């Protein structure tokens, strides 16, 4: 997946109760779908890996150009305190 999306599969997020939760593969029916929550977009590629990005019209257009459609799915790192900014910083070494 192209920038601004970063791979979430295999990373750990910290839910509000402090337990680490590993981001796994998406469900089979979520392949080539995207969804958003709290200003974060998640999408799932053909290998069932989940990618995330900050919500923007440009990100939605990129997904649509690549054949992705809107669908219902879990959006990792989309709740406060779950570490989205750290994922971005580590990925792009900001």
Q: Does residue 1 fall inside a structural domain?
A: no
pLDDT at 48 over 90: yes
Q: Is residue 77 a contact partner of residue 52, using CB atoms and an 8 Å limit?
A: yes
Q: What is the pLDDT of residues 58-79, one digit of tens each?
A: 999 999 999 999 999 999 888 7
Domain count, the chain: 1
Q: Is the pTM of this model over 0.95?
A: no
What range does the domain containing 36 cover? 6-92
Q: What is the pLDDT of residues 8-43, one digit of tens each?
A: 999 888 766 667 788 899 999 999 999 999 889 999
Q: Does residue 48 fall inside a structural domain?
A: yes
C-alpha closest to that of 4 among 92, 94, 93, 76: 92
């Amino acid at each position: 997946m192209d920038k601004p999306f970063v791979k979430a599969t295999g990373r750990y997020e910290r839910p509000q109760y402090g337990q680490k939760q590993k981001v796994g593969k998406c469900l089979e029916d979520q392949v080539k779908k995207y969804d958003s929550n709290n200003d974060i977009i998640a999408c799932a590629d053909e290998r069932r890996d989940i990618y995330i990005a900050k919500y923007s019209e440009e990100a939605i257009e990129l997904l649509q150009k690549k054949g992705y459609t809107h669908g219902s799915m879990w959006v990792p790192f989309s709740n406060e305190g779950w570490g989205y900014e750290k994922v971005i910083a580590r990925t792009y070494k900001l």
